[in-house]
């Protein structure tokens, strides 16, 4: 089945530094990938839609200069949290949509626990 | 940003009993629905999906029911096992829009 690899699974960083999270589709091509943020005991909130070869589309209220997204190939999207602050601590999850399955093939990564100290 | 005041509904069932998890969705134009299982510290795991031209779909030990009239979705788990303990999310999708997740239900299976 479709597999999405997300790395790292956990990261601790100091305030003011930047952190990069990678999302890879291992056995399928993903023109579109998605980045979510999840706070404890809450649902997944879509942050942005990452499109291969073009700019990401950000949801309302998400700062594009703070959460940089790059989708340089059909199998890799990265999310960089710039100048991280403690309030950015959260669980970040990516999802990739299998291009071959159109609108119905969503697979999620295992998530990244970011702690900013 | 973070929402205030949200909490997960909970459901506790005895091992071996059937579980029913409910979800009310918001968009009458949604035509695709998915149930996900999320264990602590992990990403969502696909369980079962259903398209709007169906009202019932069965998988292994799971059944999804869709009532478009009242915009309601349910997940039935037969013979619930300890490994079923997790948070369950429904997600809806309307054409040309992205997946939207519901608030989730914490299922606890009691021995």
Residue of higher predicted confidence among B77 and A101: B77
pLDDT tens string B32-82? 999 999 999 999 999 999 999 999 999 999 999 999 999 999 999 999 999
Is B52:B65 a contact under the CB 8 Å cutoff? no
Assess A96–B contact: CB distance below 8 Å, yes or no.
Answer: no
C-alpha A44/C-alpha A37 separation (Å) is: 6
pLDDT surpassing 90 at residue B83: yes
Interface membership of B83 toward A (CB under 8 Å):
no
Query: Is pLDDT above 80 for B95?
Result: no
Q: What is the pLDDT of residue A2?
A: 85
Q: Residue A40 gets which letter from DSSP?
A: T
Residue B6 clears pLDDT 70, i.e. is over it: no
pLDDT tens track for A51-60: 888 899 999 9
**Rounded to whole angstroms, what are the CA distances from B97 to A16, A22, A99, A104, B100?**
34, 24, 16, 12, 9
Contact criterion met (CB < 8 Å) for A106 and B99 = yes
Please enumerate in sequence order all residues whose Cβ is within 8 A of that of B28, keeping only pairs 6 or more positions apart, or say none. B68, B71
Query: What's residue A99's pLDDT?
Result: 75
What's the pLDDT tens digit per position in A5-48? 999 999 999 999 999 999 999 989 998 999 999 999 999 999 99
Which of the four pLDDT bands, split at 50, 70 and 90, describes residue A103? low
Give me chain B's average pLDDT, please.
91
Q: Exposed, middle or buried by CB within 10 Å (0-12, 13-18, 19+), for A5?
A: middle
Predicted pLDDT of residue B7: 65
For the cut 70, the answer to whether the pLDDT of residue B14 exceeds it is yes
Mean pLDDT of chain A: 93
Q: Is B101 on the interface with A (CB under 8 A)?
A: yes
CA distances from A50 to A33, B7, B19 (A): 5, 29, 36
Give the chain A residue whose CA is nearest to the CA of B32: A104
pLDDT score at B2: 37
Q: Where are the beta strands (DSSP E) in B1-111?
A: 10-14, 19-24, 30-38, 45-51, 56-58, 62-67, 72-77, 86-94, 100-101, 105-110
- Indicate the burial class of A21 (C-beta count within 10 angstroms; 0-12, 13-18, 19 or more): buried
- The stretch B82-86 carries a mean pLDDT of 97
Model confidence at A70, in pLDDT bands (50, 70, 90)? very high
Instruction: With beta carbons under 8 A apart, name residues in chain B contacting A93.
Output: 43-44
């Amino acid at each position: 089945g479709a597999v999405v690899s997300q790395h790292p699974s956990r990261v601790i960083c100091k305030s003011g530094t930047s952190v990069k999270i990678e999302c890879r589709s291992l056995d399928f091509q993903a023109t579109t990938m998605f980045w979510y943020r999840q706070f404890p005991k809450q649902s997944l909130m879509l942050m942005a839609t990452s499109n291969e070869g073009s700019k990401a589309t950000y949801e309302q209220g998400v700062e594009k200069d703070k959460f940089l997204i790059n989708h340089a190939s059909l199998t890799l999207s990265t999310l960089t949290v710039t100048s991280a602050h403690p309030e950015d601590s959260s669980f970040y999850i990516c999802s990739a949509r299998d291009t071959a399955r159109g609108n119905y093939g969503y697979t999620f990564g295992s998530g990244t626990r970011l702690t900013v100290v | 940003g973070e929402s205030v005041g949200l909490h997960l509904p909970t459901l506790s069932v005895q091992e071996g009993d059937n579980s029913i998890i409910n979800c009310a969705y918001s968009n009458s134009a949604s035509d695709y629905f998915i149930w996900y299982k999320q264990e602590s510290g992990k990403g969502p795991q696909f369980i079962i999906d259903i398209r709007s031209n169906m009202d019932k779909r069965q998988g292994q030990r799971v059944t999804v029911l869709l009532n478009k009239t009242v915009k309601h979705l349910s997940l039935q788990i037969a013979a619930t096992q300890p490994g079923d303990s997790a948070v369950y999310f429904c997600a809806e999708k309307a054409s040309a829009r992205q997946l939207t997740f519901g608030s989730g239900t914490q299922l606890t299976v009691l021995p």
